Amino acid sequence: MAGRTLTTFLRTDPRDVGYDRAMEMLHVYTDLVAIDAAAAKRYPGIAPHLDACGPCTDDFHALLATLTNADG
């Protein structure tokens, strides 16, 4: 298990903003994704974090589902 953790750490995208910043901006990022407003260009470090962090990705998808279902 320790080898897998080290390998995962070493593969971390240097653009990844990290958990704290991603959670701080997740609602804004999700709003932009919902309206297709180039969220990845405005917040380029959040997408790499979501690629690497399952719990944050789950939160993102839940927020996005809430937004898109509320609009429909």
What is the pLDDT at residue 2?
53
pTM for the complete prediction?
0.77
pLDDT bin (cut points 50, 70, 90) of residue 28 is very high
Q: Total domain count for the chain?
A: 1
d(CA 72, CA 31): 15
pLDDT above 90 coverage of the chain, percent: 64
* Confidence (pLDDT) at 1: 45
Distances (CA, A) of 17 to 41, 52, 55, 66: 14, 11, 15, 24
Question: Is pLDDT larger for residue 13 or for residue 63?
Answer: 63
Owning domain of residue 42: 2-71
pLDDT at 60 over 60: yes
CA distance 72 to 70: 6
